[in-house]
Structure 1
């Protein structure tokens, strides 16, 4: 029986993004602790060295592949183009999900491949790749002035696990739920991407404080105001600040 998996905070992947070169830097957290974890990350984490460390410690990864890894990206695109043309010789698993939110209808079609010989030399420096995936996301505006407008985005992924199309699409969607529900809010409401704190452990300390603040504000449900309005109110009103902090007034 495989060992149980345990979650890891998304802040671990945030730490990669703060470093100038993921291939040469020292890891900010001890990788010995990263046992039996499946890490899902954007292209910034898609580096052979990072993948090797994770696999060596019995973890798994699911990385987005973009042009920062041009050879791998081109090979994966070519594999799926060959499949679309009917020349791959094997059938690939596919799944489709449809969701509607914020006035948009989004259709996500995920295709996964496990027979990876066609990737050739591109696999040489990549440890334990067992699945490559393509997700086609088509969005249609269903109301408002832009009603009827459509856009299509193609995304590519690699994983050290054998994933079905349904499992891969669900994992990617879970990753983006964190991005949209946490990172986007931190950037828009807390201007995290504009922060220039670089000295010592300052960047990491303030990242933790922002997340604590975000969670406290989310937990305060007596006010139906926006996140930004709650922050302003907490700064102006000591009683409300104490309510957010959960301390007696």
Structure 2
């Protein structure tokens, strides 16, 4: 059957197959596409993916590119997925998902890391990956491993090197990435940035806290409810042409968050966070800056929380080879594809796609 234009199989066609050519019965595109279909339906492990493949009706198997009487086994799926290059897989999926959005390039990209806690063994620490996510959709556009010999800081530029065009894009990152080398790199790529500032930059943090915030009115203020709590956020913004020891910093931002649990209405917890940006007043309105900062934090809910809670990633027993990172990429693919259809409840969407094997195929552009 021919590849569907714009479908996932077409996007995966250029990936290198780590297997020896001799004896290959199922193409890489067939196995990986079937695995993503199974993950869309809520399946979490190699064995579960193999069960989904074994149970789908013959027409679904044919549409996936396999014969009904010869389907990939659990051992074959496991060996392939734990040998694949997760960065190339994520990049291919990211290009495919980006092509399904209305905008040519995302306005804001959040850079954030996550530990794969289930990959920890008595002898090795948990694997760690860092991803670049489109804030608006929650789609993971690129991903890179952070092994025990390095850290997120040194992997920042290699991660964003996976994205072809960053011009006029806003990169948001947490305090760990408030580094001079990072802003130099982003300037070379034509990107803007918003960086959180905390204690890892004590001199810069002291300069920001010393600014005359009391005399500055709130630029934005909003209230949100969710996860059994209420949060009130206020944002103040100051232009900083001089006095801040950080290259290209144009504005300073103070965010105050007051939270209370809905069952404890009189007990508030207050947190004050500072950020800096190279965006000038005429380039972004206060409401837009506040939305981008809030959008960075929302990646936890859109991606990481779903992988931990819905897909139970932290208890996954997949540990061999690149298996943990590849499975994370498959989960990101499923979440991203579902998000682009307007889905907000991933668990409910998993159940919906589990009830009919043709639904994941339609979602991934397979006919």
TM-score (structure 2 length as normaliser) = 0.50
Larger Rg: 2
Instruction: Tell me by how many angstroms 1:70 deviates.
Output: 2.2
Instruction: Kindly tell me the number of residue pairs found equivalent between the two proteins.
Output: 224
Which residue is 2:327 aligned to? 206
The answer to whether the 8 A contact 1:23-1:49 is kept is: no
Report whether the alignment pairs 1:57 with 2:189: yes
Q: CA RMSD in A?
A: 3.7
* Cα separation, 2, equivalents of 1:220 and 1:134: 32
Q: 1:137 to 1:48 in 2, by over 3 A?
A: same
**Matched-pair contact (CA < 8 Å) for 2:237–2:254:** yes
Residue 117 and residue 220 in structure 1: after superposition, are their counterparts in 2 closer, same or farther (change >3 A)? closer
Mapped partners of 1:210, 1:15: distance in 2: 13
Q: Deviations over 1:126-148 (max 9, x none)?
A: 3311111110111234x4x3233
Q: Give the equivalent residue in structure 2 for 1:6.
A: 105
- Residue by residue over 1:36-59, the C-alpha shift from the partner in whole angstroms, topping out at 9 and shown as x without a partner, is 211112223322211110012221
Contact 1:63 1:159 in 2 (8 A): yes
Residues 165 and 36 (structure 1), Cα distance of their counterparts in 2 relative to 1, 3 Å cut: closer
Once residues 105 and 338 of structure 2 are traced to their aligned partners in structure 1, the CA distance between those partners, rounded to angstroms, is 26
Equivalent position of 2:300 in the other structure: 179
Alpha-carbon spacing, 1:194–1:77, altered in 2? closer, same or farther (3 Å): farther
Quickly say closer, same or farther: Cα 1:229–1:174, change in 2 above 3 A.
closer
Aligned partners of 2:187, 2:342: CA distance in 1, in Å?
A: 40
Report the TM-score, using the length of structure 1 for normalisation. 0.70
Q: Is the CA contact 1:217–1:244 (under 8 Å) kept in the aligned structure 2? A: no
Structure 1 residues 28 and 139: alpha-carbon distance in aligned structure 2, compared to 1, 3 A threshold: closer
Unmatched tracts of structure 2, length 5 or more: 1-102, 111-130, 134-141
The question of whether the paired residues in 1 share the 8 Å contact of 2:256 and 2:270 is answered with yes
Q: 1:9 to 1:207 in 2, by over 3 A?
A: farther
8 A Cα contact 1:106 1:139, kept in partner? yes
